[in-house]
Structure 1
Amino acid sequence: MSMILAALHDTVLAEVGNPAPEAPPMADKLLQIGRYFTWLVQLSGITAITYGGGRFAWEKWNGGGLESPKMIASAMAGGAVATSAGTIMNSVIG
């Protein structure tokens, strides 16, 4: 039985060979979309923190309730998750 398995194993390995790695089709387009998405996430984070800071100043000036510190903290936490997304995915997948 082991001779049959050994012969089958050698035959399958002879057919498969050692393929050279190559990029999948349209890999450059997918990487470009990823870079655009990264740029969009960074821009939205900067906009959210800037808007939260302006709103914080407006609330302090008018003496209203302070809701903007939560907004700024949320934007900063979201930015931390967004910038570490690659590391998180590498640890989950790898």
Structure 2
Amino acid sequence: MDDLKALSDFFLAIEKDFRISSTHVAIFAALIQFRKNNGVINPIEAYSFEIQKIAKIASPKTYYKCIRELHEYGYLTYVPTKNKQKRSTIYFHFK
């Protein structure tokens, strides 16, 4: 799927979702950019610090809260890992 379309679809989906903040948007956009930089794959595997750097989010607590919420709200599927040496898996829900 075209990354621009994915971002556009996300913006359409969140238009009336009061739960979504600018931090959620920054994380989703950073995930799209990370995906683009890694061969447009679905799912992606990433460390939190890789996405935080792109999204300009300093606090890991904020990152984890927002990515869990994006998962809970159905915008993506987040599969965290307990092993610090392995990346978490993130699936995009594209139409």
Q: Normalization by structure 2: what TM-score?
A: 0.28
| TM-score, with structure 1 as normaliser | 0.28
Greater RCO (Cα-Cα under 8 Å, separation 6 or more): 2
Query: Which of these two proteins has the greater Rg computed from alpha carbons?
Result: 1
